[in-house]
Structure 1
Amino acid sequence: MALAGALSAGREWWLISNWTELKAYIRADLASMGVRAGLKTWFLDPVARLIILMRCNEYLLNTGKPRLLRLPVLFWFRRLSVRLGFSLGPNIFGPGVAIVHHGLLVIDPTTRIGRNCRIHMGAHIGGAAQFCEPGEEHKFSPRIGDNVYIGPGAKIYGPVRIGDNCTIGANAVVTRSFPEAGLTLAGVPAKIIAQGGTGERVLKGASIS
């Protein structure tokens, strides 16, 4: 099943469920960011460090590890999130996410975004948060496909669906669905201004089967 179809059905099949997947996700994320794994990246790149902590927290949560084991990672992740200006929950992104800069970034925790998302500072993606029944989040929150570029200051609100290989321009405000693949969206409210996909705007650290 294509990712866009899985998302629209509320299926969240990309959750990290074992150690091998954790390592694969981190490799894909760093590749999409264009950085190399290693101590230099860990100490000098706080955004890369945050993403690694995010994936570790997801792994510990999804695999039901003891709370005492998860709490130090969660504390470190949240402390660094506040310092960088990020508000992120677990299991939002598929593999290959690239957060380009630190700065204000707010994403509703019930949002689901596919592989190889490249997202810039100032983006705000809002949805249902805790105001819906468990299992009903896909009816109220954004669902975004693979290889999507989200420009600086873009806003995406409500139960919208964005197709694969789309570009959302800087400061665009998306309040309705654009499920077709390969669209470029811009404006307030957002509308289609071009077709043709994200091209070189997205580094695809996670291969698409």
Structure 2
Amino acid sequence: MIESKEDLRYYLEQDKIALNYPSSQKRPTFKDDIWKFEILLRKNEYVTNCLTSPLFLPYKAYIKYRYHKLSVKLGFSVPINSIGPGLSIAHYGLLTIGNCQIGKNCRIQEGVNIGATSGNPRAATIGDNVFIGTGAKIIGDITVADEVVIGAGSVVTRSITESRVTYAGVPARKISNNNSKMFINKNLD
């Protein structure tokens, strides 16, 4: 969770690395809406958590408005303070994340849905260095271990407690011992 300006810088730096932007490049390309979205996500977390004075209310409203507007444009529904540093959203397209906690260095493809079920307001707790494939659904108050790959189109309804494995299918089951190393940028902390 972002609790200071230093945290904001760190999160943005890790997100930039996760998106494979060169560190020498000050700003990614002008039309990169996913990078703009991630910047606004982190700024929204910062203004919500850190700027408590009433003097900042107009700025907070402005950031929240821009974040909402870009979320609608891209088809993203991502709550603040739910994803660790090193977020990489691969493409635009439907992305719905409920009341969950996602660790650092997560790569999420398009069409992913992470949500709650059966009247329980809590969604999944996802570990570090997890790759979530196109169209995957993670449903319920479950746990996903570190360095797990969730294959495209998979439906995960039970906890994945074993690290460094690949799950796929409907319902998802273990299909190999391959980890997420090939999908996550090696330069991340």
Q: What TM-score do the two structures reach when normalised by structure 2?
A: 0.91
Aligned to 1:179: 161
**Which range is displaced more, 64-73 or 87-96?**
64-73
Q: Pick from 89, 112, 131: which aligns with 1:123?
A: 112
CA RMSD of aligned residues (A): 1.6
Q: Which has the higher contact order (CA 8 A, sep 6+)?
A: 1
SS in 2 for 1:200: coil
| Count of residues in correspondence between the two structures | 183
Aligned to 1:79: 69
| Structure-2 change in CA distance of 1:32 and 1:39 (3 Å) | closer
Q: How high is the sequence identity, in percent, across the aligned residues?
A: 38
1:204 deviates by 4.7
| Structure-2 change in CA distance of 1:40 and 1:118 (3 Å) | closer
Question: CA separation in 2, counterparts of 1:204 and 1:168?
Answer: 19
Contact 1:28-1:95 within 8 A present in 2 as well: yes
Aligned to 1:48: 35
Contact 1:102-1:121 within 8 A present in 2 as well: yes
1:39 deviates by 3.6
1:127 deviates by 1.9
1:40 deviates by 4.2
* Structure 2 counterpart of 1:50, one-letter code: F
Question: CA separation in 2, counterparts of 1:71 and 1:148?
Answer: 32
SS in 2 for 1:106: strand
Aligned to 1:113: 102
More helix by share: 1
Unaligned runs of 5+ in 2: none
Aligned: 1:38 with 2:55: no
Contact 1:96-1:204 within 8 A present in 2 as well: no
Question: CA separation in 2, counterparts of 1:57 and 1:206?
Answer: 23
1:118 deviates by 0.3
1:205 deviates by 5.2
Question: CA separation in 2, counterparts of 1:44 and 1:158?
Answer: 35
Question: CA separation in 2, counterparts of 1:125 and 1:35?
Answer: 26
Question: CA separation in 2, counterparts of 1:127 and 1:67?
Answer: 32
Aligned to 1:153: 135
